[in-house]
Structures are given as C-alpha cells and as structure tokens.
C-alpha cells in the first residue's frame, strides 16, 4: 500500500508540474521523452530508490508493527519523519548524480504528496480498524497468567482501552497460588496444568504472564507457547533480568516484553481477501440472472421464504448468519429430531441422501450446489472466504474434541479440500483431517487449485 501511495503521488506531481495530461505523461515516460535527457529506466530507478528508502526507514521506525501498540499522533509523527528522511535521501542522490535537469518542483511535490497520502491512508486505516474492534472483528483473544493485583490491573487496562483490540478470556491460576487473592474471581478459567488446553478451547491468541514465577517455569511456558502457536508476553517489572535484550512494547501504557510472536503471513492473507472480493463480485454479477431465476422457482415450488439463514460458527467460534437458497420444507428444523436415526454420516455430521424434508426443486439445487450461491454475499461481507473449511452449526461444535477446534482457526469457506476430494466420504475423521491438512498447507496456489477443481465437481452433480 505504501508502494501504491508513492507511485500515485509521483504520477500526480509530474502531471501538475509539467502541466500535461495523464495519457501524454504516461506516453512520455514510456518513450523516455517526459523529461529531456532522462530515459524511462533512470526515472524508474530513482522511483524505486525513493520507495526502497521509505519502506526501509518505515520498518526501522516500527511503522509496520500492529496498530494496536501505537496511537494516532505517534504514528502520524513517525510517518512524516519517515517521508522527510526518504526525501532527503532522494534529493541527496540527485545532487550526487548532478541531475539538475529533473525539475525540483516534481521532487518537492512528490515528497509532500507522499507524506500527505501516507498519513491520510494510515489515519483512515486505523479508524476503520477501531470500528471493527468495536464490533468484535479482528480482535485478539487473551488470557492472563496470574490472579494478583498486577493481573487485575492489566485486565482493567486492556478492557478500558478498546482500540487495543484485545478480548479478555480469563485468568489462569499459577501453581501453588490457588486462593491467594483476596477476592476470588469468577473469571478464572483454569489452572496452569491445563493452560494450553484452555487456550485452545477459548481460541486464545496471546497469553500475558502477570505473576512472579521461577525462570524454569517461564522457559517451559515459552516452549509450550511456541509448540502450540500462541503468542506470549511478560510484564518486565516482575521478571528482572529476563530477556534483557528484548524490546519493550507498550500495550497502552502497560510495558510488556514479547517472548514469542507467531508468524502471520499478512501479505498472503491480504491477497486471499482481495481474491475473495474480486472473484466473489464477479460471481455475483454473472450469476445474478441465475439466482433471480432460482428465487422465482423456489417461490412457485413450495410455500416459505426464498432464503434459508442459519447460525454458523466461523473463525474463532464467532457466530454469523450463513445464507443459502431454501431447499427444504418450512418446518424442516422441527422435524430434524425425528430424522436422526436415518443419519448416513459418521460422528457429529448429519446427512441423509433421500431426506423427505427436501423439496422437489431442492433436490436439483443440492445436486449442482446451486443452493449455496447466496454464500458469495457472505464472502463479500467477510464472514466467509471462497476456500476454507465448511462452517459448522453449533450442535456439531459442541461435540468437537479439543483437536477438532483447529478447523475454526481460519475463516470458513464456500468450498474446500473436503468438497473436492471426499465429498461423499461419510467419515468424520476424513472430514477433519482434510480441513486440518488444508490449514497447515495453505497457500494462494492451493486455493486457486481448489476453486478450479470445484467447478468440475459442481458440473458433475455430486452434491446431495
């Protein structure tokens, strides 16, 4: 996004300073006639040099760290400082190269526009991020190790500052300190012995160590955190000499030392989201006539609403409304209990090949997966992705084992590895193992392959 901001600023600065049109400016740049005596490659090299300098300086100033750890004014000050420093490097380079023929107006306008653009973009991004945090979207679930005054002060701190984006899940009692606090809290979720089982159950992203402990215990916790993929922080005042060379990060006004921080492929996840939005929008536009025809057919086929909206469990157990075309009679949910003995799937899954509740049109829609077309709207909203584990219902999740919750670590999808490899396999273990395999081996290329294979599966009519 910084790259896009810089390129846009250079383009606008050039158009304004040279008083030319965007088309003529682009042609002149490509042909090497935009600035007399300067070829396209020299100008492109200077642009890349300015961009590289700005990105490196921004990284050194920690402008790419999570926004929750800084505030508006601090980020704006660092953005201006980074742009001006990169601008000084650019002007110094021009001086060394004796590039007097490159208009200084373009250089100055580029630096000013880049500063304004980056500052505005970061402001708007942070504003939208805070709005999402208020809605519970994108927050990080945290547990606090310890039940003493420091732990309660930290809990109050992260709950009182909403823009930190933390969601408190509970305290964990330290070994040998049961009942040590004056007022036992109902928010104690367990003891140290079951720390990571509780973290898995509550979808915890980060654990705060806020109680004095022996170095050996902290080291063991760190090793387990690394193994379980959970971030770990400690309050430095309680651990004199621990990780003395680690940087202190402020969570609000609370100083912490990050002992472990898992790798998050942010660029790949951003690309995945862009793929969802682009392909989801294209699908909705091209399939709109089909969806309108299906909606009319459902209305004539049987009494009841066109759409069926059910509560599904999404990423980190967040409940959302999953939209499908209605394929069953109106009272299908009430008749579910009397159909349980006909279940043909293994474990907690429920599926009947010739379900009497399905309408005549419903059989056709399910065969070619046409009932799932409205889920593209879920994708555009962000509740679902094009590819991922299928979103389960709450009754299924209640019967999950602890290891099965792994499939709720990611955004659910319209299609997935199970749909293209073992859709007719009744085994619940196969269902889970394929979802976990997808999560652990995920890549954009894997998503694209699954999408392509899904098209073949849909046209073969293997749905049920």
Domain boundaries, the chain: 2-134, 140-260, 266-460
pLDDT higher at 338 or 388 = 388
Pick the CATH number of 140-260 from 3.40.50.720, 3.40.50.2300, 3.10.20.30, 1.10.1030.10: 3.40.50.720
Residue 183 has pLDDT above 60, yes or no: no
Residue 104 has pLDDT above 50, yes or no: yes
What is the per-residue pLDDT for 280?
92
Q: Is the model's pTM score more than 0.75?
A: no
> At 33, phi and psi to the nearest 5?
-115, 5
Residue owning tokens 């969570």: 251
Mean pLDDT across the stretch 201-205? 91
Give the pLDDT confidence of 281-300 residue by residue, as tens digits.
999 999 999 999 999 999 98
The answer to whether 277 and 380 have CB atoms below 8 angstroms apart is yes
Q: Give 35's DSSP letter.
A: B
Under the banding of pLDDT at 50, 70 and 90, the label for residue 447 is very high
Is the Cα torsion angle 227, 229, 230, 233 positive or negative in sign? positive
Under the banding of pLDDT at 50, 70 and 90, the label for residue 33 is low
Count of CA atoms in the C-beta half-sphere (13 A) of 383: 21
Under the banding of pLDDT at 50, 70 and 90, the label for residue 116 is very high
Q: Give 324's DSSP letter.
A: E
What is the per-residue pLDDT for 180?
47
Mean pLDDT across the stretch 132-143? 85
What are the helix (H) ranges across 229-374? 266-301, 360-367
């Amino acid at each position: 996004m910084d790259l896009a901001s810089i390129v846009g600023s250079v383009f606008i600065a050039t158009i304004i300073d040279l008083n030319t049109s965007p088309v003529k400016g682009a042609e002149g740049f490509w042909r090497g006639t935009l600035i007399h005596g300067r070829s396209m490659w020299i100008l492109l090299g200077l642009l890349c040099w300015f961009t590289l300098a700005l990105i490196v300086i921004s990284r050194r100033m920690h402008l790419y760290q999570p926004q929750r750890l800084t505030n508006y004014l601090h980020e704006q000050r660092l953005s201006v400082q980074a742009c001006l420093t990169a601008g000084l490097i650019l002007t110094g380079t021009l001086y060394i190269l004796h590039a007097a023929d490159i208009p200084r107006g373009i250089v100055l306008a580029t630096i000013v526009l880049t500063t304004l653009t980056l500052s505005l973009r970061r402001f708007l991004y942070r504003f939208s991020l805070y709005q999402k945090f208020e809605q519970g979207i994108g927050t990080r679930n945290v547990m606090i190790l310890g039940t003493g005054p420091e732990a309660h002060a930290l809990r109050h701190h992260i709950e009182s500052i909403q823009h930190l984006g933390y969601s408190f899940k509970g305290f964990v009692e330290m070994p040998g300190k049961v009942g040590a606090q004056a007022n036992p809290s109902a928010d104690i979720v367990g003891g140290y012995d079951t720390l990571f089982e509780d973290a898995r159950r509550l979808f915890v992203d980060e654990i705060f160590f806020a109680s004095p402990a022996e170095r050996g215990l902290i080291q063991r916790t760190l090793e387990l955190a690394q193994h379980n993929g959970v971030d770990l922080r400690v309050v430095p005042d309680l651990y004199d000499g621990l990780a003395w060379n680690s940087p202190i990060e402020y969570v609000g006004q609370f100083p912490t030392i990050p002992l472990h921080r898992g790798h998050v492929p942010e660029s790949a996840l951003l690309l995945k989201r862009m793929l969802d939005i682009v392909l989801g929008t294209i699908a909705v536009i091209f399939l709109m006539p089909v969806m309108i025809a299906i909606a009319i057919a459902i209305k004539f086929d049987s009494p009841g609403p066109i759409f069926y909206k059910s509560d599904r469990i999404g990423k980190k157990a967040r409940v959302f409304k999953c939209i499908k075309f209605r394929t069953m009679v109106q009272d299908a949910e009430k008749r579910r209990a009397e159909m349980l003995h006909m279940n043909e799937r293994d474990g907690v899954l429920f599926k009947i090949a010739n379900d009497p509740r399905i309408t005549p049109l419903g059989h056709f829609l399910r065969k070619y997966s046409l009932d799932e077309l409205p889920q593209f709207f879920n994708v555009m909203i962000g509740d679902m992705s094009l590819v991922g584990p299928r979103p389960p219902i709450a009754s299924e999740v209640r019967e999950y084992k602890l290891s099965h919750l792994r499939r709720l670590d990611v955004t659910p999808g319209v299609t997935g590895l199970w749909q293209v490899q073992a859709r007719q396999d009744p085994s619940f273990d196969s269902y889970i193992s394929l979802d976990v395999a997808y999560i652990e081996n995920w890549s954009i290329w894997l998503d694209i392959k699954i999408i392509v294979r899904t098209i073949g599966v849909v046209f073969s009519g293997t749905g049920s």
